[in-house]
Amino acid sequence: MTDIMQKITLGILGLGTVGGGTVNVLQRNTEKISGRTGVEIHIKSALVRSLNSERICDCSGIQMTTDHLDIVNDPEIDIIVELIGGDTLAKECLEIAIANGKHVVTANKALIAKYGNELFAKAEANNVSIAYEASVAGGISIIKALREGMSGNEIEFIAGIINGTGNFILTEMLEKGRDFSDVLAEAQALGYAEADPTFDVEGIDAAHKLAILAAIGFGMPIDFESVYTQGISGLALEDLKYAQELGYRIKHLGVAKRTENGIELRVHPTLIPEKRLIANVNGVMNAVLVRGDAVGNTLHYGAGAGAEPTASAIVSDIVDVVRRISSGNHSASAVPHLGVAAELLQTQKIVTVSEFSCGFYLRLTVNDEPGVMAQVTQIFAEKNISIEAIIQKEPTDEQKIVQIILLTEECREKLLDECIQEIQSLSAIQAPAVKIRVEHLS
Protein backbone atom coordinates (compact mmCIF):
# COMPACT_ATOMS: atom_id res chain seq x y z
CA MET A 1 0.00 0.00 0.00
CA THR A 2 1.31 3.44 -0.86
CA ASP A 3 1.33 6.47 1.43
CA ILE A 4 -0.88 8.36 -0.98
CA MET A 5 -3.59 5.70 -1.04
CA GLN A 6 -6.97 6.97 0.14
CA LYS A 7 -8.07 5.45 3.44
CA ILE A 8 -11.69 4.49 4.18
CA THR A 9 -12.60 3.60 7.74
CA LEU A 10 -15.00 0.92 8.95
CA GLY A 11 -16.75 0.40 12.26
CA ILE A 12 -18.02 -3.13 12.74
CA LEU A 13 -21.02 -3.80 14.97
CA GLY A 14 -20.71 -7.43 16.12
CA LEU A 15 -17.69 -9.73 16.00
CA GLY A 16 -19.40 -13.12 16.15
CA THR A 17 -19.58 -15.67 13.33
CA VAL A 18 -20.05 -13.18 10.48
CA GLY A 19 -18.22 -10.22 12.05
CA GLY A 20 -15.23 -12.42 12.87
CA GLY A 21 -15.28 -13.96 9.39
CA THR A 22 -15.41 -10.49 7.84
CA VAL A 23 -12.35 -9.31 9.77
CA ASN A 24 -10.49 -12.47 8.75
CA VAL A 25 -11.28 -12.03 5.04
CA LEU A 26 -10.47 -8.30 5.10
CA GLN A 27 -7.15 -8.98 6.85
CA ARG A 28 -6.15 -12.02 4.78
CA ASN A 29 -7.00 -10.47 1.42
CA THR A 30 -6.08 -6.89 2.26
CA GLU A 31 -3.60 -6.47 -0.63
CA LYS A 32 -5.99 -7.91 -3.19
CA ILE A 33 -8.88 -5.79 -1.98
CA SER A 34 -6.90 -2.56 -1.96
CA GLY A 35 -5.56 -3.51 -5.41
CA ARG A 36 -9.15 -3.78 -6.65
CA THR A 37 -10.40 -0.60 -5.01
CA GLY A 38 -7.30 1.59 -4.93
CA VAL A 39 -8.22 2.28 -1.33
CA GLU A 40 -6.84 1.19 2.04
CA ILE A 41 -9.68 -0.18 4.14
CA HIS A 42 -9.08 0.34 7.84
CA ILE A 43 -11.11 -1.34 10.58
CA LYS A 44 -11.10 1.19 13.38
CA SER A 45 -13.46 -0.21 15.98
CA ALA A 46 -15.86 -3.02 16.81
CA LEU A 47 -18.91 -3.37 19.03
CA VAL A 48 -19.29 -6.51 21.15
CA ARG A 49 -21.41 -7.51 24.13
CA SER A 50 -18.53 -9.03 26.05
CA LEU A 51 -15.01 -7.61 25.83
CA ASN A 52 -13.46 -10.79 27.23
CA SER A 53 -14.96 -13.40 24.92
CA GLU A 54 -12.69 -15.42 22.70
CA ARG A 55 -12.87 -14.30 19.03
CA ILE A 56 -12.35 -16.19 15.76
CA CYS A 57 -10.37 -13.22 14.41
CA ASP A 58 -7.32 -11.22 15.37
CA CYS A 59 -8.59 -8.07 17.08
CA SER A 60 -5.24 -6.41 17.68
CA GLY A 61 -5.38 -2.88 16.34
CA ILE A 62 -9.19 -2.77 16.56
CA GLN A 63 -10.70 -0.59 19.30
CA MET A 64 -13.25 -2.78 21.09
CA THR A 65 -16.26 -1.22 22.77
CA THR A 66 -19.57 -2.23 24.30
CA ASP A 67 -21.15 1.15 23.52
CA HIS A 68 -22.60 1.35 20.01
CA LEU A 69 -22.58 5.17 20.16
CA ASP A 70 -18.75 5.10 20.21
CA ILE A 71 -18.95 3.75 16.66
CA VAL A 72 -22.08 5.13 15.02
CA ASN A 73 -21.24 8.67 16.19
CA ASP A 74 -17.53 8.47 15.36
CA PRO A 75 -16.86 11.14 12.69
CA GLU A 76 -13.79 9.24 11.43
CA ILE A 77 -15.90 6.22 10.40
CA ASP A 78 -17.21 6.16 6.82
CA ILE A 79 -18.99 2.79 6.73
CA ILE A 80 -20.89 0.96 9.45
CA VAL A 81 -20.95 -2.83 9.06
CA GLU A 82 -23.90 -4.11 11.11
CA LEU A 83 -23.50 -7.74 12.19
CA ILE A 84 -25.22 -7.91 15.56
CA GLY A 85 -28.60 -9.16 14.30
CA GLY A 86 -32.07 -8.51 15.70
CA ASP A 87 -34.25 -5.54 14.98
CA THR A 88 -33.95 -3.28 18.01
CA LEU A 89 -30.37 -2.16 18.67
CA ALA A 90 -29.48 -2.86 15.03
CA LYS A 91 -32.28 -0.57 13.85
CA GLU A 92 -31.23 2.19 16.23
CA CYS A 93 -27.62 1.88 15.03
CA LEU A 94 -28.61 2.10 11.37
CA GLU A 95 -30.82 5.12 11.98
CA ILE A 96 -28.08 7.00 13.82
CA ALA A 97 -25.44 6.00 11.26
CA ILE A 98 -27.63 7.12 8.36
CA ALA A 99 -28.47 10.41 10.06
CA ASN A 100 -24.71 10.90 10.50
CA GLY A 101 -24.20 10.42 6.74
CA LYS A 102 -22.56 6.99 6.98
CA HIS A 103 -23.11 4.19 4.50
CA VAL A 104 -24.21 0.87 5.95
CA VAL A 105 -23.47 -2.75 5.09
CA THR A 106 -25.61 -5.37 6.82
CA ALA A 107 -26.38 -9.11 6.80
CA ASN A 108 -29.52 -8.58 8.83
CA LYS A 109 -32.48 -9.98 6.87
CA ALA A 110 -34.84 -9.73 9.85
CA LEU A 111 -34.19 -5.99 9.97
CA ILE A 112 -34.41 -5.45 6.21
CA ALA A 113 -37.54 -7.60 5.85
CA LYS A 114 -39.37 -5.70 8.59
CA TYR A 115 -37.98 -2.19 8.29
CA GLY A 116 -36.22 -2.10 4.91
CA ASN A 117 -38.81 0.18 3.30
CA GLU A 118 -38.42 2.89 5.94
CA LEU A 119 -34.65 2.45 6.33
CA PHE A 120 -34.06 2.69 2.58
CA ALA A 121 -36.15 5.87 2.49
CA LYS A 122 -34.07 7.35 5.30
CA ALA A 123 -30.83 6.34 3.56
CA GLU A 124 -31.97 7.88 0.28
CA ALA A 125 -32.97 11.11 2.05
CA ASN A 126 -29.48 11.26 3.54
CA ASN A 127 -27.65 10.36 0.32
CA VAL A 128 -26.18 7.16 1.69
CA SER A 129 -26.78 3.54 0.81
CA ILE A 130 -27.60 0.37 2.71
CA ALA A 131 -25.90 -2.66 1.14
CA TYR A 132 -27.48 -5.97 2.15
CA GLU A 133 -26.20 -8.71 -0.18
CA ALA A 134 -25.34 -11.01 2.74
CA SER A 135 -28.89 -10.89 4.04
CA VAL A 136 -30.08 -13.49 1.50
CA ALA A 137 -28.46 -16.84 0.74
CA GLY A 138 -25.12 -16.21 2.46
CA GLY A 139 -22.29 -16.20 -0.06
CA ILE A 140 -24.46 -16.26 -3.20
CA SER A 141 -24.65 -12.87 -4.91
CA ILE A 142 -28.36 -13.27 -5.56
CA ILE A 143 -29.33 -9.67 -4.84
CA LYS A 144 -26.80 -8.38 -7.33
CA ALA A 145 -27.87 -11.01 -9.88
CA LEU A 146 -31.56 -10.17 -9.54
CA ARG A 147 -31.24 -6.41 -9.16
CA GLU A 148 -28.56 -5.86 -11.80
CA GLY A 149 -27.87 -8.97 -13.86
CA MET A 150 -31.55 -9.66 -14.60
CA SER A 151 -32.75 -6.05 -14.79
CA GLY A 152 -33.81 -6.54 -18.41
CA ASN A 153 -36.24 -9.34 -17.54
CA GLU A 154 -39.77 -9.67 -16.32
CA ILE A 155 -39.33 -12.08 -13.41
CA GLU A 156 -41.81 -14.96 -13.53
CA PHE A 157 -40.85 -16.80 -10.38
CA ILE A 158 -38.20 -17.19 -7.74
CA ALA A 159 -37.87 -20.50 -5.92
CA GLY A 160 -35.07 -20.98 -3.45
CA ILE A 161 -33.56 -23.08 -0.74
CA ILE A 162 -32.67 -20.05 1.33
CA ASN A 163 -32.08 -21.36 4.83
CA GLY A 164 -28.82 -23.23 5.29
CA THR A 165 -29.67 -24.58 8.73
CA GLY A 166 -32.94 -26.09 7.52
CA ASN A 167 -31.32 -27.68 4.48
CA PHE A 168 -28.50 -29.06 6.64
CA ILE A 169 -31.07 -30.62 8.99
CA LEU A 170 -33.15 -32.21 6.20
CA THR A 171 -30.04 -33.57 4.48
CA GLU A 172 -28.58 -35.11 7.63
CA MET A 173 -31.95 -36.60 8.63
CA LEU A 174 -32.48 -38.26 5.25
CA GLU A 175 -28.92 -39.33 4.48
CA LYS A 176 -27.77 -40.37 7.94
CA GLY A 177 -31.04 -40.93 9.79
CA ARG A 178 -29.97 -38.37 12.39
CA ASP A 179 -32.30 -36.88 14.95
CA PHE A 180 -33.69 -33.38 14.20
CA SER A 181 -32.57 -31.78 17.47
CA ASP A 182 -29.12 -33.35 17.28
CA VAL A 183 -28.51 -31.85 13.80
CA LEU A 184 -29.90 -28.48 14.87
CA ALA A 185 -27.42 -28.43 17.78
CA GLU A 186 -24.60 -29.08 15.29
CA ALA A 187 -25.84 -26.28 13.01
CA GLN A 188 -25.75 -23.94 16.00
CA ALA A 189 -22.21 -25.03 16.91
CA LEU A 190 -21.11 -24.41 13.31
CA GLY A 191 -22.52 -20.85 13.45
CA TYR A 192 -25.21 -21.46 10.80
CA ALA A 193 -28.29 -20.93 12.96
CA GLU A 194 -29.90 -17.67 14.01
CA ALA A 195 -29.54 -16.46 17.61
CA ASP A 196 -33.10 -17.77 18.01
CA PRO A 197 -33.06 -21.02 15.99
CA THR A 198 -36.86 -21.14 15.77
CA PHE A 199 -36.35 -18.52 13.02
CA ASP A 200 -34.59 -21.25 11.02
CA VAL A 201 -36.79 -24.24 11.76
CA GLU A 202 -40.14 -22.44 11.66
CA GLY A 203 -39.41 -20.80 8.31
CA ILE A 204 -39.25 -17.20 9.57
CA ASP A 205 -35.69 -16.64 8.36
CA ALA A 206 -36.60 -17.96 4.90
CA ALA A 207 -39.70 -15.74 4.90
CA HIS A 208 -37.52 -12.69 5.66
CA LYS A 209 -35.30 -13.57 2.71
CA LEU A 210 -38.15 -14.37 0.36
CA ALA A 211 -39.81 -11.03 1.13
CA ILE A 212 -36.58 -9.26 0.14
CA LEU A 213 -36.14 -11.26 -3.08
CA ALA A 214 -39.79 -10.82 -4.09
CA ALA A 215 -39.58 -7.05 -3.59
CA ILE A 216 -36.61 -6.87 -5.95
CA GLY A 217 -38.00 -9.39 -8.43
CA PHE A 218 -41.47 -7.88 -8.69
CA GLY A 219 -40.65 -4.20 -8.09
CA MET A 220 -42.80 -3.95 -4.98
CA PRO A 221 -42.24 -2.70 -1.43
CA ILE A 222 -40.99 -5.39 0.97
CA ASP A 223 -44.04 -7.20 2.35
CA PHE A 224 -42.82 -9.68 4.95
CA GLU A 225 -46.17 -9.83 6.76
CA SER A 226 -47.83 -11.36 3.68
CA VAL A 227 -45.48 -14.33 3.34
CA TYR A 228 -47.23 -17.64 4.11
CA THR A 229 -44.75 -19.31 6.45
CA GLN A 230 -44.38 -22.95 7.40
CA GLY A 231 -41.16 -24.48 8.73
CA ILE A 232 -39.61 -27.93 8.85
CA SER A 233 -40.19 -28.72 12.51
CA GLY A 234 -43.33 -30.78 11.79
CA LEU A 235 -41.74 -32.93 9.06
CA ALA A 236 -41.50 -36.66 9.68
CA LEU A 237 -38.57 -38.77 8.47
CA GLU A 238 -41.01 -41.21 6.88
CA ASP A 239 -42.27 -38.47 4.54
CA LEU A 240 -38.70 -37.64 3.48
CA LYS A 241 -38.30 -41.36 2.66
CA TYR A 242 -41.65 -41.82 0.90
CA ALA A 243 -40.93 -38.75 -1.22
CA GLN A 244 -37.61 -40.30 -2.22
CA GLU A 245 -39.38 -43.53 -3.13
CA LEU A 246 -41.64 -41.52 -5.44
CA GLY A 247 -38.64 -39.88 -7.16
CA TYR A 248 -38.75 -36.61 -5.23
CA ARG A 249 -36.79 -34.76 -2.51
CA ILE A 250 -38.38 -32.67 0.19
CA LYS A 251 -36.71 -29.26 0.50
CA HIS A 252 -37.71 -26.19 2.45
CA LEU A 253 -38.49 -23.85 -0.41
CA GLY A 254 -39.31 -20.17 -0.66
CA VAL A 255 -41.55 -19.49 -3.64
CA ALA A 256 -42.46 -16.08 -5.07
CA LYS A 257 -44.55 -16.52 -8.17
CA ARG A 258 -46.42 -14.16 -10.46
CA THR A 259 -49.89 -15.60 -11.20
CA GLU A 260 -53.01 -14.26 -12.84
CA ASN A 261 -54.50 -13.73 -9.36
CA GLY A 262 -51.53 -11.85 -7.92
CA ILE A 263 -48.22 -12.79 -6.33
CA GLU A 264 -47.84 -16.01 -4.36
CA LEU A 265 -45.40 -15.57 -1.48
CA ARG A 266 -44.84 -18.77 0.48
CA VAL A 267 -42.19 -20.74 2.33
CA HIS A 268 -42.84 -24.37 3.23
CA PRO A 269 -41.50 -27.91 2.85
CA THR A 270 -41.88 -28.89 -0.81
CA LEU A 271 -41.50 -32.03 -2.88
CA ILE A 272 -39.29 -31.37 -5.91
CA PRO A 273 -38.59 -34.00 -8.61
CA GLU A 274 -35.14 -35.44 -7.93
CA LYS A 275 -34.08 -34.76 -11.53
CA ARG A 276 -34.09 -31.01 -10.86
CA LEU A 277 -30.68 -29.61 -9.92
CA ILE A 278 -32.15 -27.74 -6.98
CA ALA A 279 -33.49 -30.98 -5.50
CA ASN A 280 -29.87 -32.10 -5.14
CA VAL A 281 -28.68 -29.08 -3.18
CA ASN A 282 -27.65 -30.51 0.16
CA GLY A 283 -26.22 -29.59 3.54
CA VAL A 284 -25.70 -25.91 4.25
CA MET A 285 -25.71 -25.08 0.55
CA ASN A 286 -28.43 -22.78 -0.81
CA ALA A 287 -29.72 -22.38 -4.34
CA VAL A 288 -32.10 -19.89 -5.89
CA LEU A 289 -33.86 -20.62 -9.16
CA VAL A 290 -35.01 -17.46 -10.93
CA ARG A 291 -36.96 -17.49 -14.15
CA GLY A 292 -36.92 -14.35 -16.28
CA ASP A 293 -38.87 -13.96 -19.51
CA ALA A 294 -35.71 -13.26 -21.50
CA VAL A 295 -33.06 -15.39 -19.85
CA GLY A 296 -35.25 -18.38 -18.89
CA ASN A 297 -34.19 -20.35 -15.84
CA THR A 298 -31.06 -19.35 -13.91
CA LEU A 299 -29.79 -21.25 -10.89
CA HIS A 300 -27.62 -19.53 -8.30
CA TYR A 301 -25.79 -21.89 -5.94
CA GLY A 302 -23.41 -21.59 -3.01
CA ALA A 303 -22.94 -21.75 0.73
CA GLY A 304 -25.98 -20.28 2.47
CA ALA A 305 -24.48 -19.67 5.90
CA GLY A 306 -21.22 -19.72 7.82
CA ALA A 307 -18.48 -17.25 8.67
CA GLU A 308 -16.47 -16.80 5.48
CA PRO A 309 -19.13 -17.47 2.83
CA THR A 310 -21.23 -14.73 4.44
CA ALA A 311 -18.16 -12.54 4.88
CA SER A 312 -17.57 -12.90 1.13
CA ALA A 313 -20.88 -11.10 0.49
CA ILE A 314 -20.20 -8.52 3.21
CA VAL A 315 -16.77 -7.69 1.79
CA SER A 316 -18.21 -7.45 -1.72
CA ASP A 317 -20.71 -4.87 -0.41
CA ILE A 318 -17.91 -3.01 1.39
CA VAL A 319 -15.97 -2.92 -1.89
CA ASP A 320 -19.03 -1.52 -3.72
CA VAL A 321 -19.49 1.23 -1.14
CA VAL A 322 -15.76 1.99 -1.03
CA ARG A 323 -15.74 2.39 -4.83
CA ARG A 324 -18.71 4.75 -4.60
CA ILE A 325 -17.05 6.86 -1.93
CA SER A 326 -13.68 6.92 -3.66
CA SER A 327 -15.23 7.85 -7.01
CA GLY A 328 -16.59 10.97 -5.34
CA ASN A 329 -20.17 9.78 -5.88
CA HIS A 330 -21.09 9.81 -2.22
CA SER A 331 -24.73 10.18 -3.04
CA ALA A 332 -27.27 7.38 -2.90
CA SER A 333 -26.58 4.22 -4.83
CA ALA A 334 -26.82 4.41 -8.62
CA VAL A 335 -28.71 1.14 -8.28
CA PRO A 336 -31.87 1.78 -6.22
CA HIS A 337 -32.07 -0.27 -3.04
CA LEU A 338 -34.80 -2.54 -4.45
CA GLY A 339 -33.78 -2.16 -8.09
CA VAL A 340 -36.57 0.34 -8.80
CA ALA A 341 -36.75 3.95 -7.64
CA ALA A 342 -38.77 4.03 -4.41
CA GLU A 343 -41.54 6.15 -5.92
CA LEU A 344 -42.00 3.60 -8.73
CA LEU A 345 -42.40 0.53 -6.52
CA GLN A 346 -45.88 -0.93 -6.95
CA THR A 347 -47.81 -2.64 -4.21
CA GLN A 348 -49.02 -6.01 -5.49
CA LYS A 349 -52.01 -8.16 -4.62
CA ILE A 350 -50.76 -11.11 -2.60
CA VAL A 351 -52.57 -14.39 -3.13
CA THR A 352 -54.03 -16.03 0.00
CA VAL A 353 -53.23 -19.63 0.85
CA SER A 354 -56.56 -21.06 -0.31
CA GLU A 355 -55.83 -19.72 -3.79
CA PHE A 356 -52.32 -21.19 -4.03
CA SER A 357 -51.93 -23.50 -6.97
CA CYS A 358 -49.51 -26.46 -6.93
CA GLY A 359 -49.39 -30.24 -6.71
CA PHE A 360 -49.82 -32.02 -3.38
CA TYR A 361 -48.40 -35.03 -1.54
CA LEU A 362 -50.83 -36.61 0.91
CA ARG A 363 -50.17 -39.34 3.43
CA LEU A 364 -53.28 -40.96 4.82
CA THR A 365 -53.30 -43.32 7.79
CA VAL A 366 -56.19 -45.75 7.35
CA ASN A 367 -57.56 -49.09 8.49
CA ASP A 368 -56.53 -51.86 6.15
CA GLU A 369 -60.03 -52.73 4.98
CA PRO A 370 -61.55 -53.23 1.54
CA GLY A 371 -62.90 -50.23 -0.33
CA VAL A 372 -60.90 -47.45 1.39
CA MET A 373 -58.72 -46.72 -1.62
CA ALA A 374 -61.85 -46.57 -3.82
CA GLN A 375 -63.54 -44.14 -1.41
CA VAL A 376 -60.48 -41.87 -1.38
CA THR A 377 -60.05 -41.85 -5.15
CA GLN A 378 -63.77 -41.21 -5.59
CA ILE A 379 -63.51 -38.03 -3.51
CA PHE A 380 -60.73 -36.74 -5.76
CA ALA A 381 -62.63 -37.70 -8.89
CA GLU A 382 -65.68 -35.73 -7.72
CA LYS A 383 -63.51 -32.60 -7.37
CA ASN A 384 -61.92 -33.27 -10.73
CA ILE A 385 -58.42 -33.57 -9.25
CA SER A 386 -56.19 -36.13 -10.97
CA ILE A 387 -54.04 -38.41 -8.90
CA GLU A 388 -50.58 -38.74 -10.48
CA ALA A 389 -49.21 -41.49 -8.25
CA ILE A 390 -50.47 -43.62 -5.40
CA ILE A 391 -48.79 -46.19 -3.17
CA GLN A 392 -50.07 -48.22 -0.29
CA LYS A 393 -47.62 -49.43 2.33
CA GLU A 394 -47.98 -52.85 4.00
CA PRO A 395 -49.52 -52.84 7.47
CA THR A 396 -46.73 -52.67 10.03
CA ASP A 397 -48.55 -53.90 13.10
CA GLU A 398 -51.34 -56.16 14.21
CA GLN A 399 -53.84 -53.33 14.14
CA LYS A 400 -53.72 -53.42 10.35
CA ILE A 401 -53.13 -49.71 9.90
CA VAL A 402 -51.75 -48.80 6.48
CA GLN A 403 -50.33 -45.67 4.95
CA ILE A 404 -51.64 -44.48 1.60
CA ILE A 405 -49.41 -41.96 -0.13
CA LEU A 406 -50.65 -40.07 -3.14
CA LEU A 407 -49.53 -37.25 -5.39
CA THR A 408 -52.05 -34.99 -7.06
CA GLU A 409 -51.75 -32.89 -10.16
CA GLU A 410 -51.64 -29.10 -9.75
CA CYS A 411 -54.87 -27.77 -8.26
CA ARG A 412 -56.14 -24.96 -6.06
CA GLU A 413 -55.31 -25.51 -2.40
CA LYS A 414 -58.91 -24.73 -1.41
CA LEU A 415 -60.16 -27.64 -3.51
CA LEU A 416 -57.55 -29.98 -2.07
CA ASP A 417 -58.47 -28.95 1.48
CA GLU A 418 -62.11 -29.76 0.73
CA CYS A 419 -61.04 -33.25 -0.35
CA ILE A 420 -59.02 -33.70 2.82
CA GLN A 421 -61.99 -32.64 4.91
CA GLU A 422 -64.17 -35.29 3.26
CA ILE A 423 -61.47 -37.93 3.55
CA GLN A 424 -61.04 -37.19 7.26
CA SER A 425 -64.71 -37.98 7.79
CA LEU A 426 -64.34 -41.56 6.44
CA SER A 427 -64.61 -44.15 9.19
CA ALA A 428 -61.37 -45.87 8.08
CA ILE A 429 -59.22 -42.78 8.68
CA GLN A 430 -57.02 -43.16 11.76
CA ALA A 431 -54.95 -39.95 11.88
CA PRO A 432 -54.91 -36.45 10.40
CA ALA A 433 -53.71 -36.40 6.77
CA VAL A 434 -50.17 -35.15 6.12
CA LYS A 435 -50.16 -32.58 3.31
CA ILE A 436 -46.98 -31.31 1.63
CA ARG A 437 -46.92 -29.09 -1.46
CA VAL A 438 -45.23 -30.22 -4.68
CA GLU A 439 -43.44 -27.96 -7.18
CA HIS A 440 -42.23 -29.35 -10.49
CA LEU A 441 -40.18 -26.22 -11.33
CA SER A 442 -40.19 -27.22 -14.98
Residues that bind ligand NDP (CB under 6 A): 14-19, 47-50, 53, 66, 83-85, 89, 107-108, 134, 138, 191-192, 194-195, 305-306, 310
> Which residues contact residue 427 at a Cβ distance below 8 angstroms, ignoring those fewer than 6 apart?
367
Q: Which does 348 bind (CB under 5 to 8 A by kind): ligand NDP, ligand HSE, none?
A: none
Work out what residue 15 binds among ligand HSE, ligand NDP, none; the CB cut-off runs from 5 to 8 Å by kind.
ligand NDP
CA–CA gap between residue 192 and residue 138 (Å, rounded): 10
Distances (CA, A) of 133 to 106, 108, 355: 8, 10, 32
Closer to ligand HSE by Cβ: residue 130 or 305: 305
What 8-state DSSP symbol labels residue 225?
A: G
- CB closer to ligand HSE out of 193 and 232: 193
Q: How far is the CB of 119 from ligand HSE (least distance, A)?
A: 18
Residue 165's binding partner among ligand HSE, ligand NDP, none (Cβ under 5 to 8 angstroms by kind) is ligand HSE
| Residues facing residue 296 across a β-bridge | 292
Beta carbon of residue 298, minimum distance to ligand NDP (angstroms, whole number): 22
* Burial tier of 417 (Cβ tally within 10 Å: 0-12, 13-18, 19+): middle
Residue closer to ligand HSE (CB basis): 158 or 362: 158
Residue 434's contacts (CB-CB under 8 Å, 6 or more residues apart) are 236, 239, 361, 362, 363
Comparing CB distances to ligand NDP, the nearer of 104 and 107 is 107
Question: Alpha helices, DSSP H only, in 384-436?
Answer: 413-424
The H or E element spanning position 254 is strand 248-259
* DSSP one-letter string for 5-65: SEEEEEEEE--SHHHHHHHHHHHHTHHHHHHHHSEEEEEEEEE-S-TTS--SS--TTSEEE
In this structure, the dihedral spanned by the alpha carbons of residues 141, 144, 145 and 151, taken in order and rounded to 10 degrees, is 170
Which lies closer to ligand NDP via its Cβ, residue 198 or residue 331?
198
> Could you tell which of ligand HSE, ligand NDP, none binds residue 169, using a CB distance below 5 to 8 A set by kind?
none
CB 290, min distance to ligand HSE, A: 18
Partner touching 22 among ligand HSE, ligand NDP, none, CB below 5 to 8 Å by kind: none
Phi and psi torsions of 174, nearest 5°? -75, -45
Tell me the C-alpha distance between 224 and 200, whole Å.
15
Rounded to a whole number of angstroms, the minimum distance from the CB of residue 193 to ligand NDP is: 7
Q: Residue 92, Cβ neighbours under 10 Å: how many?
A: 13
- Interface contacts to ligand HSE, rule CB under 6 A: 138, 163-165, 192-194, 200, 205, 304-305
Least spacing, CB of residue 425 vs ligand NDP, in Å = 44
Q: Which is nearer to ligand HSE, 114 or 324 (CB)?
A: 114
**Catalytic annotation, pick one of 114, 144, 209, 257:** 209
CB of 186 to ligand HSE, least distance (A): 12
Does residue 241 have an active-site annotation?
no
89 binds, among ligand NDP, ligand HSE, none (CB under 5 to 8 A by kind): ligand NDP
The dihedrals phi and psi of 399, each to the nearest 5 degrees, come to -75, -5
Catalytic residue IDs: 209
